[in-house]
Amino acid sequence: MPVPVVTQLLADGLDSLPYVWPILKTLPWLLGLYLVKAYFEGASNGSERNMHGKVVMVTGGTSGIGEAVVRELAGRGAQIVLLTQHELSDFFIVEYIEELRKETDNQLITAEQVDLSSLHSIRTFATKWIDNAPPRRLDTVILCANTLTPAGGDIESTAGEGVEVNWMVNYLANFHLLSILSPALRAQPADRDVRILFGTCAGYMGGDLLHITHPAPSFGKAPKKTANGKPKSSSATQAPSDFSPGNAHATSKLALTTFALAFQKHLSSYKRPDNTPMNTKVLLVDPGLSRTPGTRRWLTFGSLFGLALYLLFYPLWWLVLKSPLGGAQSFLFAVMEERFTRSGGGLLIKECGERSFGRKEVVENEETQKQLWEYSEKMVQEAEKRGKEYRTEMKRKSDEAKDQEEAEEQMREYKEKIGKKEGQKQEGSRRSRKAG
């Protein structure tokens, strides 16, 4: 077909081709749209690494950027361990894993139930993971899980443990998980290239850690209760002293960035028995704004009206926001780039390249890192204590309800057995015979 068209063009000129001028007028616009989309889609990962046999632990791997990362790594032969809040018998997670295995031709995809909003759930999983001799293989930990309370929304706390949700999922869960997994990370063989990837974002520069560096005098005291019996916000149970949905996410990401750099120092200070250099590197990854559930929730303010506006302007979001796969490129680069094998870790990756940290006076300050670590350890202890009391109380109420139900069932069985009905004399009783 191209040959006759070219022949006609040379013989009869442009005007002989149907719709040629509308097409020529449209082409620059299409080219411009393509260039704009390519610009906002960001850089692509050009690095490759043999992932066969490598064990990769992933949080947040069932949606958004985390799902794209999992699919790409599974397609390269990596053994994936998904940490998910869903029960392992849940239809969604069963279907999701089966689909991944089929699409990637990789059967080494499994899941572990870990609720990142529960310190108890994290401890249960992590202690089980490290309670193994020899230590289980672990090549990469990718922390993609993230939550965001829309501006104007209500402050939410985790059930029982009383920790603000953004602070818990975005920061404290990662602190707790890696603190327990630390021995397993340090015990990996010296020739194994181990990497820990923290998902962060530029929003961390808007956070503050004043509740840690300049703590309120009431820190550590039991939280006061309101008239309805719920605990008031305090530094012992909430993150910032002036907590609001507007700064919750930024503050949790600032704490995560600060902890990541402190954790790299913690790992590097370990002296291996074989006197070889520490082989675990911490890398922070900023994927940029992508069309993920978290970004959608942020843009819509968590409201139906905002969702309607989001759908109305979806062509704009499609143009200026990355796809989940586009956002995953920096994670893939951090996992597979060869030069990170020889680096000391503690690097920020954005658009498939190294970047400088913002707020260096906070995130790289050793005193702030120390205060954050101590604060987090104390918060974990207090929250786990509250969680234990909560579970004990829930178990007591459950047992009481079960005992009450059993007693009622026994009473019903007894009534059925003797044929007694309320307000009716039983036939053949002594009283009925006397009346006769």
- CATH architecture type of domain 55-219+233-292+324-389: 3-Layer(aba) Sandwich (3.40)
Q: What is the reported pLDDT for 221?
A: 43
Q: What is the reported pLDDT for 148?
A: 86
Q: What is the reported pLDDT for 90?
A: 92
**CA-to-CA dists, residue 349 to 26, 62, 200, 329, angstroms:** 38, 22, 10, 10
Residue with tokens 């590197």: 281
Q: Tokens at residue 129, please?
A: 């993971």
**CA-to-CA dists, residue 426 to 338, 414, 419, 421, angstroms:** 88, 14, 7, 8
Q: Give the residue extent of every domain in the chain.
A: 55-219+233-292+324-389
In the predicted model, is pLDDT for residue 149 greater than 60?
Answer: yes
**Is the CB of residue 190 less than 8 Å from the CB of residue 279?**
yes
Distance CA 284, CA 333 (A): 12
Q: What percent of the chain has pLDDT over 70?
A: 84
Distance CA 258, CA 360 (A): 9
In the predicted model, is pLDDT for residue 336 greater than 70?
Answer: yes
Q: What is the reported pLDDT for 302?
A: 79
Task: Give the residue among 331, 371, 379 at the shortest CA–CA distance from 351.
Answer: 331
Q: What is the pLDDT of residues 281-296, one digit of tens each?
A: 999 999 999 999 888 8
The pTM of the full predicted model, rounded to 2 decimals, is 0.83
Residue 150 has what DSSP assignment? Answer: P
Q: How many CA atoms, within 13 angstroms, populate the side-chain half-sphere of residue 282?
A: 21
- What is the mean pLDDT of the segment spanning 364-375? 94
Q: Tokens at residue 58, please?
A: 């992933």
> How does residue 167 score in pLDDT terms, banded at 50, 70 and 90?
very high
Helices (H), 170-274: 173-186, 210-213, 245-268
Q: What is the reported pLDDT for 234?
A: 43
In the predicted model, is pLDDT for residue 242 greater than 80?
Answer: no
Name the phi and psi angles at 302, rounded to 5: 65, 25
What is the number of helices (H) and of strands (E) in the chain? 16, 8
Q: What is the reported pLDDT for 427?
A: 52
Residue 256 or residue 221, greater confidence = 256
Q: Tokens at residue 390, please?
A: 């909560």
In the predicted model, is pLDDT for residue 225 greater than 50?
Answer: no
- Positions marked catalytic: 253
Give the N- to C-terminal CA distance of the chain in Å, as an integer.
Answer: 111
Q: What is the reported pLDDT for 215?
A: 72
Q: At what angle do helices 245-268 and 366-418 cross, to 10 degrees?
A: 110
Q: What is the reported pLDDT for 243?
A: 58
Distance CA 23, CA 416 (A): 85
> How does residue 111 score in pLDDT terms, banded at 50, 70 and 90?
very high
- Least reliable range by pLDDT among 16-30, 76-90, 291-305: 16-30
Q: What is the reported pLDDT for 348?
A: 95
Q: Tokens at residue 195, please?
A: 């990497």
Percentage helix, strand, coil, to 5, in the chain? 55, 10, 35
Angle at 52 between CA 131 and CA 48, to 5 degrees: 120
Mean pLDDT of the chain, nearest integer:
85
- Least reliable range by pLDDT among 58-67, 176-185, 225-234, 347-356: 225-234
Distance CA 38, CA 422 (A): 79
In the predicted model, is pLDDT for residue 374 greater than 50?
Answer: yes
Q: What is the reported pLDDT for 17?
A: 67
**Is the CB of residue 283 less than 8 Å from the CB of residue 390?**
no
- What is the mean pLDDT of the segment spanning 212-226? 55
Distance CA 335, CA 357 (A): 20
In the predicted model, is pLDDT for residue 232 greater than 50?
Answer: no
Distance CA 36, CA 198 (A): 29
Q: What is the reported pLDDT for 21?
A: 74
Q: What is the reported pLDDT for 360?
A: 92
How many other C-beta atoms lie within 10 A of the C-beta of residue 148? 24
How many other C-beta atoms lie within 10 A of the C-beta of residue 180? 16
